[in-house]
Amino acid sequence: MLRPVILGTGCAVPAKILTNADLERMVDTTDEWITSRTGIAERHIASSGEYTSTFATKAAELALEKAGVTADEIELIVVATVTPDFPFPSTACLVQNNIKASRAAAFDISAACSGFLYGLSLVEKMIITGSISKALVIGAEVLSRVVDWSDRNTCCLFGDGAGAVVLGTSQSGNGILSTHIHSDGSYWDLLFQPGIGNRNPASKKALEERLMFLQMQGNEVFKLAVRAMEDAAHEALDANDLKLDDIDLFIPHQANRRIIDAIGKRLGINNDRIFVNLHKYGNTSAASIPIALDEANRSGRIQPGNLLLLDSFGGGLTWASTLIRW
């Protein structure tokens, strides 16, 4: 059976690092509070002149290099992001231009932190049906430009960066075994950016009311995230007639160490099979899983034949899971 397979991974983050100690000088917070409530120690922040497309492009180039695939072989570029360079054209079109993937169709998808797994799900179907044979799926964000740096409730949580995979086809049985995606729009206002879309367009009022910055009801999001990610994990395993014991590496969305610990406990999966890097990056939304995947891949944490479970949750609300035989 024809399956989509990940041929290469890449990631890129800004050089500039913002530590918890730096945040202590910006808002009324402490390193102790941030570390104990979130597990985050530092995050990478884009400098002026760096955009979502900057990191998406670099991640894509590294993934292509690792895959041994050239840009002109790529037929589709999907960028998952809620912080595109522009409302339009898509960040994917900017990446296409930067890497000179002249044959590729390119577009963005918006599914917040689940965007990368939504992208994998879409491309999986296109590969299985034979519409395309090689694609780039990228998760990329510059959240630091929609974070209110005077709001201690949110500013310590997020970071910038991008991760990418090159997808091709395999007949070996290895590759993406399944993808599942879900949404519940009734919770749309638990985590959102009120401006400056067309409901609250750019205006003096929008600026004064700080509508361009994301807002979140952290407690509610926390509870829903744990439940949804647990369900998504079981759904992926059930669909493939597999058990948690079969999983070699669980890569959850990197939002909060306590969310990851709670899911690990509910699933009964011990820490040595859970990949965590959020202490270094914070929550990079759509970029979090592909950055983690690339780090796990390049560090040798993933070996051929390993079974990986990717599990995400984000604004929308959206959640998703992907099972991969590496």
Ligand X SMILES: CC(C)(COP(=O)(O)OP(=O)(O)OC[C@H]1O[C@@H](n2cnc3c(N)ncnc32)[C@H](O)[C@@H]1OP(=O)(O)O)[C@@H](O)C(=O)NCCC(=O)NCCS
As annotated, the active-site residues are 113, 253, 283
- Length of the chain in terms of residues written: 326
**Does 218 engage in binding with ligand X (CB under 6 A)?**
yes
Those residues whose C-beta lies under 8 Å from the C-beta of residue 295, and which sit 6 or more positions away, are: 11, 275, 277, 301
**Does 222 engage in binding with ligand X (CB under 6 A)?**
yes
Selected binder of ligand X within 47, 70, 102, 153 (CB under 6 A): 153
Rounded distance, CA 182 to CA 307, Å? 22
**Cα angle for residues 261, 190, 165 (degrees, 5° grid):** 60
Phi/psi of residue 209, nearest 5 degrees: -85, 5
**Does 152 engage in binding with ligand X (CB under 6 A)?**
yes
Closest distance of CB 319 from ligand X, Å: 9
Q: 22-41: which residues touch ligand X (CB under 6 A)? A: 29, 33-34, 37-38
Q: Where are the beta strands (DSSP E) in the chain?
A: 3-12, 17-19, 42-44, 76-80, 105-109, 135-142, 160-170, 175-183, 191-192, 215-216, 249-252, 307-314, 318-325
**Does 147 engage in binding with ligand X (CB under 6 A)?**
no
Selected binder of ligand X within 59, 80, 109, 113 (CB under 6 A): 113
Selected binder of ligand X within 11, 127, 140, 225 (CB under 6 A): 225
Closest distance of CB 187 from ligand X, Å: 11
Closest distance of CB 82 from ligand X, Å: 11
Burial class (CB in 10 A: 0-12, 13-18, 19+), 242: middle
**Does 110 engage in binding with ligand X (CB under 6 A)?**
no
Selected binder of ligand X within 198, 219, 241, 268 (CB under 6 A): 219
Distances 203 to 37, 112, 200 between C-alpha atoms, Å: 35, 25, 8
Selected binder of ligand X within 8, 161, 314, 316 (CB under 6 A): 314
Contact residues for ligand X, defined by CB under 6 A: 29, 33-34, 37-38, 113, 152-153, 156, 191, 216, 218-219, 221-222, 225, 255-256, 259, 283, 313-314
